[in-house]
Amino acid sequence: MTLLTVEGLQLSLREGDRFTPFVEDVSFSVEKGKTVALVGESGCGKSITCLSMLRLLNPEAVQISGGSIQFEGQDLLHLPLSQLRHIRGNSIGMVFQDPLSSLNPVFSIGNQLVEAIQNHRSVSYAEAKEKALHMLASVRVSRPELRFTEYPYQLSGGMRQRVMIAMALLGEPKLLIADEPTTALDVTIQAQILSLLIELQEEMNLGILLVTHDLGVVAEFADEVLVMHTGRIVERAPVQALFENPQHAYTKKLLASVLKLGGTQ
Ligand SMILES: Nc1ncnc2c1ncn2[C@@H]1O[C@H](COP(=O)(O)OP(=O)(O)OP(=O)(O)O)[C@@H](O)[C@H]1O
Ligand SMILES: [Mg+2]
């Protein structure tokens, strides 16, 4: 079953006084329980594409200038903000690219989780705390009671990333948009976070839109791959087909660079 359908998306960036199209003609869909990976070089438009799904872009800088985004039949681009807020965090969870800047440094982890829960549901502090501790445990954060009282700077990068995933999953979303959820982490922690995502995906039948520049992650995790190059999807294929028979010159270059790296190790 299709959760998200994006058609002909166009995003324009401010250049001086004008907005100029940067992301153009982006179309894809994400099914329940499946992972679509979005790959491409730095600055090609992956993050702004993700942020546009929930209309989280700063309209002074980036505007959605064309196309449509449907989530379970709802037109996200024209939904009143009150309804969109309900979808954010409830039906669609998002892990942002930079976990340190998305966690508030002056509030404890527990405080932030409880606030996020109470934003979406009218529950008592005690109930919200119980739910928060449960979420921390389910993303395999060690000693949840202790972490609950700690501040973001006291957590390792891997732990912070787990907290971000917990935060994104609090509302039991159907779709998770994860923008480079493992990039800043070392290889071992990266593998742990990915296997966590795979487990949670199976448990919750989550659809995932996963941004990564790591083709190893793509090979292991994705069902379908979108290759983005300067704001356009230049290739879209099931993961195996992409690796076995890349069509576009840019995809070939991307794959060759990984093979070369692998060869020199
Ligand atoms: N808030 C913003 N205001 C203005 N321009 C922006 C903003 N965010 C991104 N851009 C521009 O949009 C383009 C795409 O950026 P984006 O962050 O989506 O790239 P990316 O593919 O996610 O790169 P990376 O792999 O480095 O995260 C870039 O040219 C960037 O400078
Ligand atoms: Mg990005």
pLDDT tens profile 33-86? 999 999 998 999 999 999 999 999 999 999 999 999 999 999 999 999 999 998
Q: Please give the helix or strand (H or E) that residue 210 lies within, else none.
A: strand 207-211
Ligand 1 within 6 A of 42 CB? Answer: yes
Q: pLDDT confidence of 262, banded at 50, 70, 90?
A: low
Q: Number of H helices and number of E strands within the chain?
A: 11, 10
CA–CA gap between residue 247 and residue 245 (Å, rounded): 6
Percentage above 70 pLDDT, the chain: 96
Write down the domain spans for the chain.
Answer: 2-98+174-264
Residues 6+ apart with CB under 8 A from 66: 8, 9, 10, 21
Looking from the CA of residue 51, the nearest atom of ligand 1 is: 18
Closest approach atom of ligand 1 to CA 40 = 21
Residue 45 in contact with ligand 1 by CB distance below 6 A: yes
- Reported as a single tens digit per residue, the pLDDT across 219-248 is 888 999 999 999 999 999 999 999 999 999
Which pLDDT does position 216 carry in this prediction? 84
The Cα–Cα gap between 65 and 63 comes to 6
Cα(21)–Cα(8) distance, rounded to whole angstroms? Answer: 12
Cβ of residue 166 lying under 6 Å from some atom of ligand 1 = no
- Please name which ligand lies nearest the alpha carbon of 230: 1
Tell me the CA–centroid distance for residue 20 and ligand 1, in Å: 14
Q: How far is CA 162 from CA 46, 95, 166, 186, in A?
A: 22, 10, 6, 14
Q: How far apart are CA 93 and CA 53, in angstroms?
A: 11
**What number does the ligand 1 atom closest to the CA of 41 have?**
25
CATH of domain 2-98+174-264: 3.40.50.300
Nearest atom within ligand 1 for CA of residue 97: 27
pTM of the full structure: 0.91
| Strand bridging mode 207-211 / 232-238 | unpaired
Residue 260: predicted pLDDT: 63
Q: Looking at residue 100, what is its pLDDT?
A: 66
pLDDT in tens, 148-200: 999 999 998 888 888 988 888 888 899 999 999 887 778 888 888 888 889 88
The two structure tokens encoding residue 194: 């990915």
Using a 6 Å cutoff on CB, does residue 23 contact ligand 1? no
